[in-house]
Amino acid sequence: MSIGFVLGAIFTLLMIAGVALCVYATMKKNKRLTMIGLSAGGAFLLLLILIPASFHTVQSGQIAVVKHLGEAREVRTAGTYFDFWLTEKYDVYDAKVQNMEISTQAYSKDAQTMGIAMTVQYKIDESKALEIANQYGSIEILANRIQSIATEKAKATLSSYSAMQIIETRSSISPTVEEAIKSAVHEGYCVNIVTVVLTNIDFSDAFEKTVEDKMIAEQEKLKAQYEKETAIVNAEKELEVAKLDAMAKIEKAKADAQSELEVAKAEAEAIRLKSIEVARALGFAITETEITDEDGVVTVEYNIDFTDKTPEEVALITEYLKYADYLAKWDGKLPSVVTGDSATVMIPTPSQDTVTT
C-alpha cells in the first residue's frame, strides 16, 4: 500500500470529522465550534487534494522521467518520492527486457513472396532516459521506430537470398538478420538489442508444392543412383569371381599341360634309350661323347654307325627315332638325327637327374 493512499485515507477521515463537527456545532448554534469544524474540514480537504497525489512510487524494473511543467529534468529509479503533482509529472518506463513480435511480408531475390515472423528483444538504456523523453516523447513512439527499422532490415537481408537458399540455410540466415538489425539500431536509439530470432518463414502454397516435388525428384534420383552403384558393385563382384574361377582353370590347365609335358619328355627319353639298346642288339656300332652346354648341363651324345647295315635294320632304328622326335617336338627341342651312314642321339647325364644308358 503506497504512502499517498494511506495519507489520502487519513485526510479523508479527518475531513469527514471536521464536516461532522461543523454540522454538530450548527445544530447546537455554536458559531465558534462551527467555524472550527469548517476550517478543519477545509484544511483537510486541501491536504487531501495536494499531498497524497504528490507521492510517486517507482517499482523495481522501472525508471521514471520527472517532467517539471513539461520539461524533462530528472530520472528516478525504484523507490518512493515526493514531488508536487501540480508541477511535476512522472513518465514511467519499463526497464526490463521487452519482447516485440513482428509479422510482415517480404520478397526473396527471385521474387518469391514469403510471410515472416520474428521476435526482437530489446532493453532501453537507462542512462539515456532523458534523451528518450526529449527525442521521442514516449517509450511507445520509440518502440514503433525500432519495429520499423527491424522490419526494413529483415526485408532487405532476405531479399539478397533466393527462395531455395533461404530454405536450405534458414538456420544461418537468422544471425545475419540479427546482425543487420543490431547495426541499424545504434546508440542513437537509446536501446540495446538483446536478440533477434526468425521464428517462421512461410512461402506460398504453390512454391512449397514446387519445392516438395523437387525434393521428391531428388530423392528418386538418389535412389536410382544408389541402385545403379549397387548393381555395378554386384557386377564387379561377379566379374572378380568369374576372373578368379577362370584363373583357377587356367592354372589347372597349365599344371595339366606341364604334367603331360614331363610325361612326354620321359617317354621320349625312354624311347631314345630303347633305340640305342635296339641298335646295340642288331650289332650297330655305338660311340658315346659327353657334351657340356653354356648352362653347365652335361649330356651324352650317342652316335650310331649305319655302315654295312641292311635297309630293314636302318628303317627299324629310324622308326624309333621318329617316334621319339614326335613326343619331344612340341616343346621346341628336337633330337639331332642324321640319315645316311650314322645317327646321333643326345641323352642327359645322371648328374642332371635324367635316366641315361
pLDDT at 323: 64
Q: 98-203 — its CATH code?
A: 3.30.479.30
pLDDT score of 199 more than 80: yes
- Greater confidence, 216 or 61? 61
- Using a 10 angstrom Cβ sphere, with 0-12 exposed, 13-18 middle and 19 or more buried, the burial of residue 357 is middle
pLDDT score of 348 more than 60: no
pLDDT at 345: 47
pLDDT score of 338 more than 60: no
The Cα 40–Cα 25 span in angstroms is: 13
pLDDT at 152: 92
Domain 98-203 and domain 260-352 have a common topology: no
Residue pLDDT, tens place only, 125-182: 888 888 888 888 888 888 999 999 999 999 999 998 888 888 888 878 889 999 999 8
What is the band of 35 on the pLDDT scale with cuts at 50, 70, 90?
A: confident
Query: What is the model's pTM?
Result: 0.49
**Region of residue 296 (left: phi > 0; alpha: psi -120 to 50; beta: else):** left
Q: Where are the domains of the chain?
A: 3-94, 98-203, 260-352
* Average pLDDT across the chain, whole number: 75
pLDDT score of 14 more than 50: yes
| Angle at CA of residue 291, ends 271 and 336, nearest 5° | 45
- Greater confidence, 310 or 175? 175
- Greater confidence, 230 or 148? 148
pLDDT at 101: 93
Residue pLDDT, tens place only, 79-107: 777 787 777 888 888 888 889 999 999 88
- Greater confidence, 329 or 354? 329
- For residue 103, what is its C-alpha cell? 509479422
**Topology at the third CATH level for domain 260-352:** Phosphorylase Kinase; domain 1 (3.30.200)
